[in-house]
Amino acid sequence: MNGFQTFWNGLDWTILMDMLVSIIPALVCITLHELAHGFVAWRMGDDTAKLAGRLTLNPIKHIDIMGLIMMIVFRFGWAKPVPINMEKFKNPKMGMALCAAAGPICNVLLCGLLLLVYGFLFLPLTRIGTQWAFIVLQTVEVTAYLSLALAVFNILPISPLDGSKVLFSFLKPHQYSKLMRYERYGMVILIVLMITNILDNPLSAITAWLYERLFFLAEMTFSIAQKIF
């Protein structure tokens, strides 16, 4: 027993903690992002995502390995697209636009909610002062920022990102057909843009600016926490 205790105390938990702070936020963000797509589609009459088992909080159902790696490394990435049959919508183009927009909107709302939580927990967790308390606080903050970054990234009008689907929904049929010819090259273009860091600076700047604008939510709940704790 003493030998096990010595072994346990001697373990370096830094790597595990770093993994938790990197991977958990990414999984939360992509899961809710894709769930939002599928849920809105289902509510509008398309049960394709539901039948495919994508209306779930199970992150394994939504993971795209390359997109997850991109999120962890570059803070921008994607998940496995939720299957949507736009022909089941009463208004296919509008339905597709709303479903596409649901993901980024969900991420912005999640960012706002987590900032409220972050501000409220900041005082009690820093007073506790343990390593795990700081990890919880850091995880909440990283998830908030990553969720906003995912929203910003996905509004780019490059297939298969959500911004392209919103854009396509407003095009005339012949324009839509022309753009669809190049859709298969979208993923290659995205990976090249990410690896070469062409998108990194502008996307990071936009995300940081929006995050600063939303941080008043954390300041608001921090003020409330000061009165309670």
Tell me the catalytic residues.
34
CB burial of 2-26 (b: ≥16 within 10 Å; e: otherwise) equals eeeeeeeeeeeeeeebeebbbeebb
Contact 30, 76 (CB under 8 A): no
The CA distance from 84 to 106, in Å, is 17
CA torsion sign for 31, 33, 37, 42 is positive
Max intra-chain CA distance, the chain: 74
Contact 46, 88 (CB under 8 A): yes
CB burial of 34-60 (b: ≥16 within 10 Å; e: otherwise) equals bbbbbbbbbebebebbbeeebbbeebe
